[in-house]
């Protein structure tokens, strides 16, 4: 075969290939179809269970069998994605209407994972059989080849209610994400019926029927007035709160009981929520909370907060809404595959798409049923006619040499080669004009059909068939008749499967917390060599001063309202409120400092920590020194920012900050010490004042392989002494040198 080389731009090939890949992920994996509300993996799993015969009234089957069969026949991807989809389809705390009946450990609302698929079992729910899979044998949807063209699979399931709204959907595709909240089955069906019967509804009328989402976890939607715009555009944020009840306890005390949680708190977020409440109690932001217990069970959520006597209930509720995930936002982006392409849809567009799909499915269903009944009527007419002339037919059968002669005689009246008892019989046989279908039915007819009662039953059956034909033709020919059938089915679905609404829809004001003005008092912040930090009262520190100074890497004296500036060797400043540091007893362990601020102990080390109000004197500066010998002074006001983390110094590649010390005025002296033993005494006035984003200037000229090790402030300790090369050096007696010189070694 002759080689053919196609020359093209590489960027064009990459662009086309990536677009193809993105569309494959969007349409074939990540996004649901607006018609049945299912992603491909969910649709294939349900269809495979249907093929395996896993009906709701039959025994469960191992999940591993379902996953393996689905993967082998329809979904050639990882088994974990198939099992993950199967697990979600069973979870009543995630799905508005679960589509699979699971047996075994399929996870919990608190985030416990499902057991391995070799341990769990599953079968279809009755609603799934009736509403998604019941009419697949009636040519209601198109089928296509599977990935290796050895099987056929439905391209969409004939869902009889808007599953996209009822069960919602979440998925991440390439460059787009879908997030659709679940809704109440009964309300959604009412909206579909109203649109079919009235033809059109205003947005206000539609919102009266579907006031908002209905989360399986309950809760309270607090921005009712914003929902109309969210449903009109298909995007927005829904504010959801958990449900909090007040119970009376012994001794005049009260307790708060959380009985419903926001949908966004599912899983591991419940554990984080409990930790957040504990942190509020420990840091004295919620001093009224004396105990926390999670009493949740299979019967529902029950998180109990024991309160002090006389606690401010409303303020505490607002604090929980404000500081924890008891109030959260659900981001809505109603993106789904419509007509083969991804599209952000409004509530009305989803309902309209479902109604169009229902009419298409009903048309195909009743056309198939009409064809079946028409063929049945044809057969019945032939059999009734045959019974009337059964003697002639028996004579034809006995006089024929083969079955072909009989068929030709029955269909076209050909009597050649057939022996008749009389010429009259032959003349009657020549007039026979049965259809091919009727002829085959006559040849297959049993002798029992000759009984009189059987003939009567056959005539009665034919009358019923004719009634069905008239009914089906009426449904296909008249919009109102088809609409009536669809509405009747929807009402039956609602009657059998609808449940009361679980989520309340209200307008609620944003939670406001009355901040209790705490009295300022002096504290000592202690950090041990492992980076665990804690705060103790100043009087407690004084009683344990010797132990505190010997056991801790850092001791800071400040006020409880202070903010600490944490400087690291990579040139970053992190802000840490003293009030967020655990306050307690002297021997308490404390909390890792990297859990309290953005400091990352894996990539940066703490150089200095100062309270933000530690420089009250005019002319106070922060002196920065780096490993490569660069120095600068920076005004503290440069760092008076509200951001939690900022860049505090600009560094060359490979350079690190080794010291940050406060200096005041222009008359001070500092000493720079290198690892090679060189010392250089400088006037503070010789070190220029720079912006925090400036690189700085060379403070000491380093020899090859040497680096700056330490900086000493003589204003803080005029009589400071250090050991260099085994000799004691009084820093105050060193001769003052010039910046950017090498300095000297002690002799």
For residues 38 and 86, give the distance between their C-alpha atoms in angstroms, rounded to a whole number.
Answer: 12
Closest of 358, 336, 359 to residue 347, by C-alpha: 336
Contacts by residues 396-402 (CB-CB < 8 Å, ≥ 24 positions apart): 396/420, 396/429
For residues 379 and 281, give the distance between their C-alpha atoms in angstroms, rounded to a whole number.
Answer: 82
| Active-site pick, 119, 263, 479, 678 | 119
Phi-psi domain of 601 (left: phi exceeds 0; alpha: psi -120 through 50; beta: other)? alpha
Phi-psi domain of 48 (left: phi exceeds 0; alpha: psi -120 through 50; beta: other)? alpha
DSSP state of 688: P
- SS (HEC) of 69-125: HHHHHCCCCCHHHHHHHHHHHHCCCCCCCCCEEEECCCCCCCCCCCCCCCCCEEEEC
Strand stretches in 296-412, DSSP E: 303-307, 327-333, 335-338, 341-344
Under a CB-based contact definition with an 8 Å cutoff, are residues 211 and 224 in contact?
A: yes
Collapsing DSSP to helix, strand or coil, 539 comes out as helix
Has 263 been annotated as catalytic?
no
Count of Cβ atoms closer than 10 Å to residue 342 Cβ: 19
Partners of residue 145 on adjacent β-strands:
152
Partners of residue 332 on adjacent β-strands:
236
Q: Which two tokens stand for residue 287?
A: 């001093």
Residue 165 parent element (H or E)? helix 163-166
In terms of Cβ atoms closer than 10 Å to its own Cβ (0-12, 13-18, 19+), residue 14 is exposed
Closest of 180, 35, 31 to residue 95, by C-alpha: 180
Displacement of CA 20 from its chain's centroid (Å): 25
Under a CB-based contact definition with an 8 Å cutoff, are residues 434 and 442 in contact?
A: yes
DSSP state of 368: H
Count of Cβ atoms closer than 10 Å to residue 479 Cβ: 10
Partners of residue 622 on adjacent β-strands:
634, 662
Displacement of CA 110 from its chain's centroid (Å): 15
- Beta-carbon contacts of 498 under 8 Å, excluding residues fewer than 6 positions away, are 184, 185, 186, 189
- Beta-carbon contacts of 218 under 8 Å, excluding residues fewer than 6 positions away, are 243, 259, 260, 261, 502, 503
For residues 199 and 194, give the distance between their C-alpha atoms in angstroms, rounded to a whole number.
Answer: 8
For residues 162 and 210, give the distance between their C-alpha atoms in angstroms, rounded to a whole number.
Answer: 13
- Beta-carbon contacts of 408 under 8 Å, excluding residues fewer than 6 positions away, are 414
Count of Cβ atoms closer than 10 Å to residue 742 Cβ: 15
For residues 460 and 747, give the distance between their C-alpha atoms in angstroms, rounded to a whole number.
Answer: 126
Give the active site residues.
119
């Amino acid at each position: 075969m002759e080689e053919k080389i196609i020359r093209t731009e590489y960027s064009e090939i990459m662009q086309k290939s990536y677009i193809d890949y993105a569309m494959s992920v969007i349409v074939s994996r990540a996004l649901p179809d607006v018609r049945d509300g299912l992603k491909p993996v969910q649709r294939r799993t349900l269809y495979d269970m249907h093929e395996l015969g896993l009906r709701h009234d039959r025994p469960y089957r191992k999940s591993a069998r379902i996953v393996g069969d689905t993967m082998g026949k329809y979904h050639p991807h990882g088994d974990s994605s198939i099992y993950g989809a199967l697990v979600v389809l069973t979870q009543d705390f995630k799905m508005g209407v679960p589509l699979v009946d699971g047996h075994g450990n399929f996870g919990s609302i608190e985030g416990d994972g499902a057991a391995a698929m070799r341990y769990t079992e599953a079968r279809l729910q009755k609603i799934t059989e009736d509403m998604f899979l019941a009419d697949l044998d009636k040519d209601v949807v198109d089928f296509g080849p599977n990935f290796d063209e050895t099987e056929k699979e439905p391209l969409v399931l004939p869902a009889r209610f808007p599953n996209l709204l009822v069960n919602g959907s979440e998925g991440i595709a390439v460059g787009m994400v879908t997030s659709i909240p679940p809704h109440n089955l009964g309300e959604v069906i009412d909206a579909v019926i109203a649109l079919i019967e009235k033809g059109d509804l205003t947005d206000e009328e539609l919102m009266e029927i579907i006031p908002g989402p209905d989360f399986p976890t309950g809760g309270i939607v607090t921005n009712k007035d914003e929902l109309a715009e969210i449903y009109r555009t298909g995007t927005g944020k829904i504010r959801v709160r958990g449900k909090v009840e007040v119970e009376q306890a012994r001794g005049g005390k009260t307790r708060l009981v959380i009985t419903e949680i926001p949908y966004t708190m599912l899983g591991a977020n419940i554990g984080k929520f409990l930790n957040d409440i504990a942190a509020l109690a420990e840091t004295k932001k919620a001093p009224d909370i004396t105990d926390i217990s999670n009493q949740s069970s299979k019967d529902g959520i029950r998180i109990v907060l024991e309160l002090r006597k006389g606690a401010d209930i409303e303020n505490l509720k607002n604090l929980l809404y404000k500081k924890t995930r008891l109030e959260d936002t659900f981001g809505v982006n109603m993106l789904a595959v419509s007509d083969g392409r991804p599209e952000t849809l409004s509530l009305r567009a989803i309902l309209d798409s479902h109604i169009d799909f229902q009419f298409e499915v009903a048309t195909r269903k009743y056309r198939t049923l009409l064809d079946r009944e028409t063929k049945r009527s044809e057969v019945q007419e032939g059999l009734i006619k045959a019974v009337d002339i059964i003697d002639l037919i028996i004579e034809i059968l006995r006089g024929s040499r083969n079955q072909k002669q009989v068929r030709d005689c029955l269909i076209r009246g050909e009597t050649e080669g057939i022996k008749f008892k009389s010429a009259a019989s032959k003349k009657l046989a020549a007039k026979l004009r049965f259809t091919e279908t009727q002829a085959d039915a006559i040849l297959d007819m049993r002798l029992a059909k000759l009984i009189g009662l059987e003939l009567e039953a056959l005539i009665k059956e034919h009358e019923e068939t004719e009634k069905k034909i008239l009914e089906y033709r009426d449904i296909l020919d008249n919009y109102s008749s088809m609409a009536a059938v669809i509405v009747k089915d929807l009402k039956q679905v609602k009657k059998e499967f609808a449940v009361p609404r679980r989520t309340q829809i209200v307008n609620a004001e944003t939670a406001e917390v009355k901040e209790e003005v705490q009295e300022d008092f002096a504290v000592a912040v202690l950090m041990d060599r492992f980076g665990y930090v804690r705060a103790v009262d100043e009087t407690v520190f004084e009683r344990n001063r010797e132990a505190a100074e010997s056991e801790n890497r850092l001791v800071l004296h400040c006020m409880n309202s202070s903010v600490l500036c944490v400087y690291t060797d990579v040139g970053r400043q992190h802000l840490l409120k003293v009030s967020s540091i655990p306050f307690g007893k002297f021997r308490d362990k404390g909390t890792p400092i990297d859990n309290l601020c953005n400091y990352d102990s894996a990539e940066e080390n703490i150089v200095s920590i100062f309270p933000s109000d530690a420089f009250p004197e005019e002319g106070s500066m922060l002196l920065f020194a780096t490993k490569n010998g660069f120095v600068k002074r920076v005004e503290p006001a440069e760092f008076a920012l509200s951001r939690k983390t900022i860049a505090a110094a600009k560094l060359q590649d490979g350079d690190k900050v080794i010291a940050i010390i406060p200096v005041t005025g222009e008359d001070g002296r500092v000493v720079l010490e290198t690892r090679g033993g060189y010392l250089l005494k400088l006037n503070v006035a010789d070190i220029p004042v720079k912006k925090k984003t400036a690189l700085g200037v060379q403070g000491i000229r380093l020899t090859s392989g040497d680096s700056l090790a330490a900086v000493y402030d003589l204003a803080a300790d005029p009589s400071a002494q250090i050991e260099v090369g085994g000799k004691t050096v009084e820093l105050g007696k060193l001769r003052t040198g010039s910046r950017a010189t090498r300095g000297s070694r002690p002799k």
